[in-house]
Amino acid sequence: MRILLVILTAMFLLIVILLLSNRSLQHDLNHAAQQRDALAISLQQREQTITALNQQMRQREQAELALREDLSSARQIMQTREQQRQRSLHVNAQNRQWADGGLPADISRLHQRPAFSSASDYLRWLSGGQRLPDSGQPSRH
């Protein structure tokens, strides 16, 4: 009878140990499932981000293509205008003489300005600028 009691006690302890182990494993399984769900959500968010980035990349490629086409068109227009200008210079000697002549000194000074390293330098230059000389003629406006 004692042996039976010892065996029953041992079996009871074994069952308690197995139940505790089962509970611990169940907890680990629940934790792993939560981690899996969190990773799945993270993966889904990354896939959405990748999709959005790919779409933005396609839009930028299309915009770049449009800009390249515009640039090509602008170059063609510029070349056409330059050719027309060159033809007009060859046709009329007066136009050729005018184009070869330099700008008057006062107008050349209007085109001169120092190199600026910042916006504040430019503003300082603007505020400290020299006034144009009085032409002595009233304004036409």
Q: What are the tens digits of pLDDT across the range 85-113? A: 888 877 888 877 777 788 888 777 777 76
119 assigned to some structural domain: no
Domain count, the chain: 1
Q: What confidence category does residue 137 fall into, taking pLDDT thresholds of 50, 70 and 90?
A: low
Q: Specify the amino acid at residue 5.
A: L
Q: Name the pLDDT band for 57 (thresholds 50, 70, 90).
A: very high
Does residue 65 form part of some domain? yes
Domain residues for the domain of 62 are: 37-88
Looking at residue 129, its pLDDT comes to 63
In a domain, 43, yes or no: yes
In-domain check, residue 32: no
pLDDT on residue 44: 97
DSSP for 42-92, written as a single string: HHHHHHHHHHHHHHHHHHHHHHHHHHHHHHHHHHHHHHHHHHHHHHHHHH-
Residue 136 lies in a domain: no
Indicate whether 64 belongs to any domain.
yes
What is the tens place of the pLDDT at every residue in 5-39? 999 999 999 999 999 999 999 999 999 999 999 99
Is residue 110 situated within a structural domain? no
Q: Is residue 141 part of a domain?
A: no
**Length of the chain in terms of residues written:** 141
pLDDT in the model for residue 22: 93
